[in-house]
Structure 1
Amino acid sequence: MKKFIYLTLFVAAVSGCGLMRSASSGESISIEGRITKLGMTTYQYGTHTISYGGKPYALRSSSLNLDTYADKQVVLRGTKVAGYPIEGGPDLIEVSEVVMK
Structure 2
Amino acid sequence: MKAIILSLVTGLIFLSTNCDRENSEEQMQLTGTIESQGITSYQYGTHTLNTEDEFYALKSEKVELDHYVGMEITISGSKIEGYPVDGGPDYILVTEVKK
Query: Is the structural similarity TM-score above 0.5?
Result: yes
Distance 1:14 1:51 in 2: 42
Q: Which runs of 4+ in 1 moved over 2 A?
A: 12-27
Paired residue total = 94
Show structure 2 runs of 5+ residues with no match: 1-7
Q: TM-score, normalised by structure 1?
A: 0.76
Alpha-carbon distance change, 22 to 92 in structure 1, aligned in 2, over 3 angstroms? farther
Q: TM-score, normalised by structure 2?
A: 0.78
Show structure 1 runs of 5+ residues with no match: 1-9
Letter in 1 for 2:18: R
Indicate the residue corresponding to 1:67 in structure 2: 66
Letter in 1 for 2:65: L
| Secondary structure at the counterpart of residue 35 of structure 1 | strand
Indicate the residue corresponding to 1:77 in structure 2: 76
Query: Which of 20, 34, 47 is matched with 1:23 structurally?
Result: 20
Contact 1:34-1:50 at 8 Å conserved across structures: yes
Distance 2:13 2:85 in 1: 23
Letter in 2 for 1:21: N
Q: Rg larger in 1 or in 2?
A: 1
Identity, % of aligned positions: 36
Cα RMSD between the aligned structures?
2.3
Distance 2:78 2:20 in 1: 12
